[in-house]
């Protein structure tokens, strides 16, 4: 049986290390703090007996659990990311542990009256009677994705300690900078050497995902003309007011706060402006590739139409594709999803197979030749102070990894 205390201590050690990534730094990793966790993981993997441990110059950490069977089975992998989101501070994380949670409000911070309430976050009610790990209301927790790291390391340790559980060769990797969209950019698929892998980066217990958004960024730059306001008639071009009209011209219902399921959106996530220059930064998302392309063309036509209203070009747009829906690459090997689904059911977990309203390293890795569905890591409310994770979900995810390793060896046995 997987022991709660060592896993709890491991998780708490990881989350109290600040590994926030930086979207403005093109280096790998984007922050030096990620090296600190990587080096701790190297030491742990060495001590437990993992092999081929390699931390490269870009902070990608790979290691091998050797096969303990005599027949050939596919090499599989498990992947998690070391960085935490720059959306909210990950420094000085002070986790709180609530034993035997009873469905009540959780006071995260008395001084600031910050409360984690099931009246607002109703998923809390799924975990009555369980152990909930929260923040103190002033930082994120970092379960995204240090829960995933905890689960992979703990599963490898368990398999090493229990050689009676038969498995083929298993590769693991911990990546930098997933939260800023770069986690798979320098991932060496050939060096990893797995036939397929799973990212442990989902949320609620049972999540099993092999579809995600097609994603692009759009940077809209509006150039105005600054003139003394007392003498501006017919001369000033106020880029802020043009930006206001541009924002209003986008579909008001196609925004994150009004969409769910397979519905895509335009998300204005950053805006800076003066009379002379305003910059709007959008995320463009859709699961359907045709609708995704239509969204990008809509933005381009909108820019064209706006420019037609002025004697000179006032708006420029730069659209960059970020990642694509991994369903295209995983459907031909859907048995790798079926294996994870079967293991979950055997462990008494109800599989929640659904599309990710976002992306993971796995979406990019799938297009690089490593099919990579996503499995729950257990956390909720990522990227903010209301993040929490039930300890039992971490334990279950660890058991899923162990079960997949054993299931693959069983299915390919002669």
- The domain spans of the chain are 4-212+325-411, 214-322
129 vs 125: CA distance, rounded Å: 10
Do the domains 4-212+325-411 and 214-322 sit in the same CATH topology, yes or no? no
pTM listed for this prediction: 0.90
Task: Please state the separation of Cα 211 from the chain's center in Å.
Answer: 13
Active-site positions read: 83, 178
Q: Please state, in angstroms and rounded to a whole number, the distance separating the CA atoms of residues 275 and 216.
A: 27
On whether the CB atoms of residues 400 and 343 are closer than 8 A, the answer is: yes
Q: What is the pLDDT of residue 403?
A: 98
Average pLDDT (161-182) is: 95
Q: Report phi then psi at 371, rounded to 5.
A: -55, 135
Which pLDDT does position 43 carry in this prediction?
A: 98
pLDDT band at residue 414 using 50, 70 and 90 as cut-offs: low
Domain range 4-212+325-411, CATH architecture: 3-Layer(aba) Sandwich (3.40)
Q: What is the Cα–Cα distance from 386 to 389, expressed in whole angstroms?
A: 10
The token pair at 308 is 């037609």
What's the pLDDT at 1?
77
- Residue by residue, DSSP assigns 235-298 as T-B-HHHHHHHHHHHS-TT-SGGG--TT--EEEEEEEEE-SSEEEEEEEEEESSHHHHHHHHHH
Confidence category of residue 359, pLDDT binned at 50, 70, 90: confident
Rounded Cα–Cα distance for residues 383 and 179 (Å): 10
| 280-298 residue pLDDT tens | 999 999 999 999 999 999 9
- Tell me what percent of the residues of the chain surpass a pLDDT of 90: 93
C-alpha 13/C-alpha 20 separation (Å) is: 15
The domain 214-322: what is its CATH number? Answer: 3.30.70.360
Residue 412 has pLDDT above 90, yes or no: no
Q: What gap in Å lies between CA 181 and CA 384, rounded to an integer? A: 18
pLDDT band at 315 (very low <50, low <70, confident <90, very high): very high
Q: What percent of the chain has pLDDT over 70?
A: 100
Given this model, what pLDDT does residue 81 score?
97
């Amino acid at each position: 049986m997987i022991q709660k205390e060592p896993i709890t201590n491991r998780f708490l050690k990881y989350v109290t290390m600040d590994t926030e990534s930086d979207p403005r730094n093109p280096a790998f990793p984007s922050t030096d703090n990620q090296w600190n966790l990587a080096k701790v993981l190297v030491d742990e993997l060495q001590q437990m007996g993992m092999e081929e441990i390699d931390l490269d110059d870009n902070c990608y950490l790979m290691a091998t659990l050797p096969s303990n069977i005599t027949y050939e089975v596919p090499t599989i992998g498990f992947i998690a990311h070391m960085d935490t989101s720059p959306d909210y501070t990950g420094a000085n994380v002070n986790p709180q542990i609530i034993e035997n949670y009873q469905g009540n409000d959780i006071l995260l911070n008395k001084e600031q009256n910050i409360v984690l309430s099931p009246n607002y976050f109703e998923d809390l009610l799924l975990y009555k009677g369980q152990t909930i790990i929260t923040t103190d209301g002033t930082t994120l927790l970092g379960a995204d994705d240090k829960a995933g790291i905890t689960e992979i390391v703990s599963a490898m340790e368990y398999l090493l300690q229990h050689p009676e559980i038969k498995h083929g060769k298993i590769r693991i990797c911990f990546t930098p900078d997933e939260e800023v969209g770069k986690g798979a950019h320098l991932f060496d698929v050939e060096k990893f050497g797995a036939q397929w892998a799973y990212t442990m980066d989902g949320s609620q217990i049972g999540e099993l995902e092999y579809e995600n958004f097609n994603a692009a960024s759009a940077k809209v730059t509006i150039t105005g003309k600054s003139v003394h306001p007392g003498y501006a008639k017919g001369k000033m071009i106020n880029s802020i007011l043009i930006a206001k009209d541009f924002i209003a011209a986008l579909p008001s219902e196609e925004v994150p706060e009004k969409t769910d399921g397979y519905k895509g959106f335009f998300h204005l996530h950053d805006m800076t402006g003066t009379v002379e220059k305003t910059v709007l930064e959008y995320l463009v998302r859709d699961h359907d590739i045709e609708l995704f392309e239509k969204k990008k063309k809509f933005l381009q036509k909108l820019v064209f139409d706006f420019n037609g209203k002025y004697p000179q070009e006032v708006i420029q747009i730069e659209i960059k594709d970020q990642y694509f829906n991994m369903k295209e690459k995983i459907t031909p090997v859907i048995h790798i999803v079926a294996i994870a689904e079967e293991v979950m059911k055997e462990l008494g977990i109800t599989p929640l197979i659904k599309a990710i309203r976002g992306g993971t390293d796995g979406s990019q890795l799938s297009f690089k030749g490593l099919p990579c569905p996503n499995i729950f890591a257990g956390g909720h409310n990522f990227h903010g102070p209301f993040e929490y994770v039930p300890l039992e979900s971490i334990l279950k995810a660890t058991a899923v990894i162990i079960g997949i390793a054993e299931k693959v060896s069983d299915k390919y046995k002669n």
